[in-house]
């Protein structure tokens, strides 16, 4: 492409929620201004969800280091943080990634629909602030249409459920009036995010704890919940009716001794759902009266049955995306030729109008019907002469032949610097 499309992103695939939070851009309008001013991008769109912060940009020339530096300045984090957490792709790979986003193939929960609405909101916001232009507006409009069509034809979003939402569903099935109960979530990673999203969606209040209070607070700012000190939780399991455990600790956090002690001060029972891998709940707690324990293997088995239908469709969706990305790439390349084509048509129309008016004066023609016929004739002649070379220029642009565009620019005396992109 004459113009490059880039995508720089920090997502749940490489970074846990408490790290993602650091890359979040608080003031979008100011950020757009900074990126366009300092990063070398002349168009940009920012997508932010609880699972990702992504920047799509357009520029003829750009510098990824300038993009990192600008992003670091906006968020106040060190540039080195991008080395471990940021992924970067350009052109065809960037288009491919955007289609995966709009079709739900890159989501934490395969096929989930929320991301499509978030992308629509992102391009609307970029348009309103004039951060995006012809290239990214066209790209996002087409990607949203393609993603919607893929979802509708493939059924990728039908009948799926995550480990987190399945765990919450099981809690609902086993605990009467769950909304009146005390719920605890231990952990702030990927699975905890899914649990928190599911609890939030169903309107439950819940406490969140992690090894550090700061991490819990950052998680709760994004995902909801009330942050609780880790030490308080370890000594106060009796305060809770449902405990979701989703950590990567290499030892038992919920021990037989702690739960035995907790049940001495507990009137009702406790349901514990261990979503950790490896397990962080001692299986012996299942033998304690009033305790119902479910582990990740049991829950994952239920999810697997539920997800098989979606997973069978992934290959189909990937094949559709591979076909569509080539068409999308051609459309984006064609945009490179449009300023030249538009300029040529404008200049030729000016010449046609000028010569048309001269001819009318020479003919001294007053009959409106005849004047209309002559004008339509001149337009038809111009169109028939110009259409073929202009379409060939567009095709050359689609096929990635900048030399043809360069030659056409010389032939038609096209001045790029006078054109607003």
3-state secondary structure 347-409: HHHHHHHHHHHHHHHHHCCCCHHHHHHHHHHHHHHHHHHHHHHHHHHHHHHHCCCHHHHHHHH
- Is a pLDDT exceeding 60 seen at residue 417? no
The whole-angstrom separation of Cα 183 and Cα 364 is: 90
Residue 415 confidence (pLDDT): 67
* Torsional class of 365: left (φ above 0), alpha (ψ -120 to 50), beta (otherwise): beta
Give the SS3 label for residue 250. Answer: coil
- Select which of 5, 10, 17, 50 is catalytic: 50
Active site annotation includes 50? yes
Q: Is 76 annotated as a binding residue?
A: no
**Domain 4-159: CATH architecture, name and number where available:** 2-Layer Sandwich (3.30)
Question: Which phi and psi angles does 174 have, rounded to 5°?
Answer: -100, -20
- Is a pLDDT exceeding 90 seen at residue 9? yes
Scan for tokens 């609902």, then name that residue. 172
Q: Is 114 annotated as a binding residue?
A: yes
SS3 content of the chain, % helix, strand, coil (to 5): 60, 10, 30
Give the orientation angle of helix 163-174 with respect to helix 190-201, to 10 degrees: 50
What is the third-level CATH fold of 163-294?
Answer: Rossmann fold (3.40.50)
- State the chain's mean pLDDT as an integer: 88
CA distances (Å), 55 to each of 123, 205, 308, 336, in order? Answer: 11, 33, 32, 21
Mean pLDDT check: name the lowest of 38-42, 271-275, 296-300: 296-300
Domain ranges for the chain, please list them.
4-159, 163-294, 332-412
- Is a pLDDT exceeding 60 seen at residue 416? no
Q: Is 191 annotated as a binding residue?
A: yes
Q: Given pLDDT bands bounded at 50, 70 and 90, which one contains residue 329?
A: confident
The whole-angstrom separation of Cα 247 and Cα 245 is: 6
- pLDDT tens for 187-218 read 998 889 989 999 998 999 999 999 899 999 99
Q: Is 103 annotated as a binding residue?
A: no
Scan for tokens 């490896």, then name that residue. 278
- pLDDT tens for 86-145 read 999 999 999 999 999 999 999 877 888 888 989 999 999 999 999 999 999 999 999 999
């Amino acid at each position: 492409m004459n113009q490059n499309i880039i995508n720089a992103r920090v997502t749940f695939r490489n970074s846990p929620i408490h790290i993602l939070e650091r890359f979040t851009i608080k003031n979008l309008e100011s950020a757009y201004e900074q990126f366009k001013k300092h990063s070398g991008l002349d168009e940009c769109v920012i997508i932010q969800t609880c699972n990702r912060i992504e920047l799509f940009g357009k520029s003829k020339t750009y510098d990824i280091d300038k993009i990192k530096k600008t992003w670091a300045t906006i968020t106040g984090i060190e540039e080195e943080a991008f080395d471990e957490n940021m992924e970067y792709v350009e052109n065809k790979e960037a288009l491919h990634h955007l289609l995966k986003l709009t079709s739900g193939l890159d989501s934490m929960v395969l096929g989930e629909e929320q991301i499509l609405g978030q992308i629509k909101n992102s391009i609307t916001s970029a348009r309103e602030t004039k951060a995006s232009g012809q290239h990214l507006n066209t790209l996002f409009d087409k990607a949203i249409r393609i993603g919607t069509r893929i979802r509708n034809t493939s059924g990728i979003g039908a009948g799926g459920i995550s480990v987190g939402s399945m765990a919450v569903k099981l809690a609902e099935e086993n605990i009467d009036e769950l909304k009146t109960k005390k719920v605890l979530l231990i952990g702030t990673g990927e699975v905890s995010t899914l649990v928190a999203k599911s609890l939030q969606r169903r309107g439950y209040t819940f406490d969140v704890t992690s090894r550090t209070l700061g991490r819990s607070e950052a998680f709760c700012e994004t995902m909801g919940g009330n942050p609780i000190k880790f030490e308080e939780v370890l000594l106060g399991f009796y305060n809770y009716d449902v405990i979701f455990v989703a950590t990567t600790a290499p030892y038992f956090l919920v021990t037989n001794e702690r739960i035995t002690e907790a049940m001495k001060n507990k009137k009702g029972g406790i349901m514990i759902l261990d979503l950790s891998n490896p397990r962080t709940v001692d299986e012996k707690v299942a033998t304690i009266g009033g305790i119902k324990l479910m582990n990740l293997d049991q829950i994952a088995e239920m999810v697997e049955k539920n997800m098989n239908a979606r997973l069978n469709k992934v290959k189909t969706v990937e094949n559709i995306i591979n076909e569509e990305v080539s068409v999308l790439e051609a459309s984006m390349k064609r945009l490179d030729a449009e300023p030249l084509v538009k300029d040529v048509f404008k200049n030729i129309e000016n010449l046609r109008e000028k010569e048309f008016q001269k001819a009318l004066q020479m003919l001294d023609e007053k009959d409106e019907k005849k004047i209309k016929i002559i004008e339509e004739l001149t337009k038809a002649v111009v169109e028939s002469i110009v259409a073929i070379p202009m379409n060939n220029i567009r095709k050359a642009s689609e096929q990635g032949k900048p030399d043809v565009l360069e030659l056409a620019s010389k032939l038609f005396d096209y001045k790029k610097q006078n054109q607003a992109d």
